[in-house]
Each structure stands twice: as structure tokens, then as C-alpha cells.
Amino acid sequence: MLAGILMFSSFVWGQHVALGWQDEVRRCAEAQDWPAAMRIVDQEIARAPQDMDVRAWRARILAWSGRLVEAEREYREILTVSPSDPDDWLGIGSVYSREGKMEEALRALDRAVELDPRRPDLRTALGRALMVANKQSVAKLEFQNALNLDPGSAEAHAGLLSVRGEPKQELRLGINTDLFNFTDANHDQGVSLISHWTDKWATRVAGDFYQRAGTDAGKFSASVTGNIQRWGALTIGGATARDNGVVPKTEAFFDYDHGWRLNWGKLARGLEVVYAHHWYWYPAARVMTVTGTMLVYLPREWTWSLGLTGARSQFPGTDTAWRPSGMTKLGFPIVSGEKPRLAGNIFFAVGTENFAKQDQIGQFSAQTYGGGLCLRFTAHQDVTGYGAYQRRTLDRAQTSFGFTYGIRF
């Protein structure tokens, strides 16, 4: 009797200890205290070095903390010893996805589903990976299979909606106003349509209308973008205008955009670099700009960008001159979650000029301070607004504000 009680007490105590260290690891993970979580798991591995479940916890912590190479190595060692646990295949599949190794990720997640085809979470994970790999029809099937197994799965519902309802068109309407302390106000309005014809090709057409000092002008622009996943996106376009001496008569431009996923833990999630070349031809002036922009995707949906522009201007009777300008912007979430979502930004620019308008080119320097808000109140609609104050030489100042409304369908 006493021996039975002791054995039962030992079993309960052992279960309590096991659950205790896992709870501690979860608490550390929620606080993103990865060193503490790793110390707890390493202590458990020292007690039971052959326990693959504990090793799997170590692999999860490595993945959660962004140490993907080490997590992949740990999962590989686990699967060498215990190749029949679908959770381990799910874990290494997620690591492969984050590393951009989509073929390996799909093979691992396929194996997980093969081992336990009745688990909806495995099929949902496979569906997400198939979406990233641009295999939409197969992804749709996996999300539907997950819903058949668990009709209440929110992730499977969201995945199925994302496959069914990805909008291909985006229509934007906008207005802007510029107020000056030395002349009358300027106004402009614009409308644009962005069409994503395939995963690799998109077009943009836009019309802009200007009212300046009693003079009206209009401009039509168009561009085409080709996107190759490993090489980035290249955009080529141009514009023509009924200028009336207010805006450029013709324009031409191209830009190249490339991004990289980063796994720098608390420092950065991704990096995007854009190079842009733009030519403006006025009746009496020629301007060419070269711009480089770096956009860093920070943790918790923050972003930071830095752009530098060199402008080559040529006016009648003057020598050609180069002038630099630059801008930096910090973006941050205000209300996160599903919907509605609200984000904001603040920016500062020095020497910045808008070369698309005649009153913004010439021999002056400026400092601009501003910020903006973006409210996405549904998955298909948003409103953005901005305000800016520009201080120029000769005690001149400009205050600008405007908003755009976007709808995707």
C-alpha cells in the first residue's frame, strides 16, 4: 500500500515538474526572453539527453528567436532519430519557409500530412506554404480539407478567403492642397488604377489635374511592372501632359525594386532597396533625377526608410547643375490586429523638391516636416492622409495636406 502511494506520488510529482518547466518556457517565450527559455530547456536535456520531445522544444525556441540555421540543424538531428513525429516535420517545414527554401518546406509539410492526414493544422500550414509558392489551386484544396476536418478553424477560413478573394485591381482617388505665405493656393486631384494581371505583371494608369494661379493643367501617365521573385521588380513608364507651363510636357522613368528577408531577431525582419531614374522635360527646362531608397522592416510592424536624390537641372542661359536632397520616414502601427487598422508615419526632408511641378524647381533650399495616417477599415478599402510644412529660403513657407481613398476589387 505504502509503496503504491509512493509510486503514485512520484508519478504525479514527475508530471508536475514536466508541466512546470514547459510552462516556464512558454512564459519566457511570451516575454521574448530567449536566453532564459534556452537555459530551462538545456537543463532538461542534461537530465534526459535522449528525450526527443525536449529536443523539439529546443528547436522551437531556436526558430522563435530567429536562429533559423541552428533550428534547422536541431530538427534534422531529431528527425534522424525519430522520423515519425508530424510535429517535427511541421517545425522544420516552418523553418524552411522562413528561410525561403520553399521546395524543402513543401516536402516536409507533405510528410507531416502523410503521417497524420486527420490534423487540420497540418493541412492549413501546407496550404499557407503552397500559397507562398504560388500554387493557389492546390492551396485552396488544402484549406478546404482543413475545414472539412474542423469547420470552426479560423486559420483555414482565412486561408480559403485569401485564395478566393485576392483583389486584382486597385482604384485610388486623391486631392491635395498647397498653401503659401507669398502667393495663392494651389490644388490638384488625381485618379489611378493599378491592375495585377498575373503574379509577374502589373500595370498602372493615372490622370492628374492641376490648378495653379488661374492656370489649369492635366497629365496622363502609364507604367508596366515585371516581377521575378528572385530578381525583384522592374517598372518602366512615361507621362504626357497638357502642361500650360505648369507641369512637365513629357516624362520618362524606370525603377528597380528588390527585397530580402532578414532574420535579425529584434533588429530587422526585411530590407528593400529601390533605385529610380526619372526624366522631366519642360518647355524651357530639363531635369533628371536619380534616387536611391532603402526601406527597413522592423519588428512589430515598424518601418524606417531613407532616400537620397541627385537632381541634374538645366535652364536657359545657365550651366547644368547637380543638387542633392534627402528624406527619412518612420512608420509605426497605432491600432493593430485584423480590422480596422490604423498606422502612422512621420518624415523629414531637406532640399526636397517636387520636380513634377514648375513652382517646385529652381534655386532654393528647403526643410520639410510632416506626417501621415492610414486607416484600413476593411480588407479592400483604406483612407490615407498627410500634412507637411516646408520652410524655404527668403522667408517663404508652404503648408501642404491631402488624402486618398483606395478600393481593391
135-161 pLDDT tens trace: 888 898 899 999 999 998 888 888 887
Q: What is the CATH number of the domain that holds 128?
A: 1.25.40.10
Residues 269, 395 within the same domain: yes
Residues 111, 225 within the same domain: no
Residues 129, 56 within the same domain: yes
399 vs 299, which has greater pLDDT?
Answer: 399
Residues 13, 71 within the same domain: yes
Q: What is the mean pLDDT of residues 207-236?
A: 93
Residues 36, 185 within the same domain: no
Closest CA to 96 of 105, 83, 109: 105
356 vs 232, which has greater pLDDT?
Answer: 232
Q: What is the mean pLDDT of residues 9-13?
A: 36
AA identity, residue 146: A
303 has pLDDT over 90: yes
Q: Which three cell numbers stand for residue 7?
A: 509510486
Total domains in the fold of the chain: 2
pLDDT at 162 (0 to 100):
77
176 has pLDDT over 80: yes
pLDDT at 275 (0 to 100):
97
CA-CA distance, 226 to 228, in Å (whole number)?
A: 7
DSSP 297-341: E-GGG-EEEEEEEEEEEE-TTS--EEEEEEEEEEEEEEE-SSSSE
pLDDT at 198 (0 to 100):
85
Residues 174, 111 within the same domain: no
Dihedral, CA of residue 138, residue 144, residue 145 and residue 150, to nearest 10: 150
Query: Please, how many CA atoms are within 13 Å of residue 257, restricted to the half-sphere of its CB?
Result: 12
Name the band, by pLDDT with cuts 50, 70 and 90, for residue 246: confident
Q: Which of 144, 164, 184 is the last residue of a domain?
A: 164
Q: What is the CATH number of the domain that holds 350?
A: 2.40.160.40
Q: Which of 164, 195, 223 is the last residue of a domain?
A: 164
Each residue's pLDDT tens digit, 351-367: 866 666 666 655 567 89
Q: 33 — phi, psi (to 5°)?
A: -95, 75
Q: Does the pTM exceed 0.75? A: no
Name the band, by pLDDT with cuts 50, 70 and 90, for residue 339: low
Instruction: Please say whether the beta carbons of 206 and 193 come within 8 A.
Output: yes
215: helix, coil or strand? strand
* Mean of pLDDT over the chain: 88
291: helix, coil or strand? strand
pLDDT at 298 (0 to 100):
92
Closest CA to 356 of 173, 176, 169: 176
Question: Exposed, middle or buried by CB within 10 Å (0-12, 13-18, 19+), for 348?
Answer: middle
53: helix, coil or strand? helix
CA-CA distance, 186 to 203, in Å (whole number)?
A: 29
Q: Which three cell numbers stand for residue 281?
A: 522635360
| C-beta neighbour count of 208 within 10 angstroms | 20
> Which structural domain range is residue 177 located in?
169-408
Q: Which of 98, 132, 164 is the last residue of a domain?
A: 164
Report, in angstroms and rounded to the nearest whole number, the Rg of the chain calculated over CA atoms. Answer: 28
Q: Does the N-terminal peptide bond of residue 340 adopt cis geometry, omega within 30 degrees of 0?
A: yes
Residues 122, 222 within the same domain: no
10 has pLDDT over 50: no
Q: Which three cell numbers stand for residue 351?
A: 532640399
Name the band, by pLDDT with cuts 50, 70 and 90, for residue 75: very high
Residues 36, 149 within the same domain: yes
